[in-house]
Chains A and B, each alone.
Chain A
Amino acid sequence: MADILGAEVDEEGFLVNLKDWTEEIAVVMAKGDDIDLSEEHWDVINFLRSYFEEYQIAPAVRVLTKAIGKQFGKEKGNSKYLYSLFPYGPGKQGCRFAGLPKPTGCI
């Protein structure tokens, strides 16, 4: 079984145990995708984590987009912005960095 900094991950690179997550793990995961995490990345990652904590699911992209726009400003509430941060998809890639399971309904 593969691991990142000792935390077990599945075949798609998602954490097996949500509780294993640390910021360092997110940094290593991002490096693996050639991304240096910026403040803007962290805004989204932290949002995903608090959304999951509150609702026990990862938000659908449509819901994420709306909520990010509401919280961080209209110019960020669109999928173009989110995809510029997470080229493999704010849902799939963002959730992976945030230590969450793959979003429901995400293929």
Chain B
Amino acid sequence: MLHTVNKSSFERNSLQSCLNTIDDTSVILLIEDGVISAANNANSSMLSDLATQGRVYALQGDVDARGISSKVADNIKLVDYAGFVDLVVEHGTAVSWV
């Protein structure tokens, strides 16, 4: 499965809820304000394990728009819209955490 998260983990619990129910083969794509969780910050530990396993992506355009491209945590992969589409195709059912 592909899980998309579009809210900042500082404002909403969407990322935490996603992590509560994600299985071992699913990946997370951070979009819109969700990319705030891709930056190195006080909430980085939430995603560090999954990122190490190469299962966390962030949408480049949303990262750039927020001026945080230099702060993206290690092991989080940046994708463009075409990459977004590839993830949907590869991982089947998509769940959005809004």
CB atoms of A and B under 8 A apart anywhere in the complex?
A: no
B interface residue numbers (CB < 8 A to A)? none
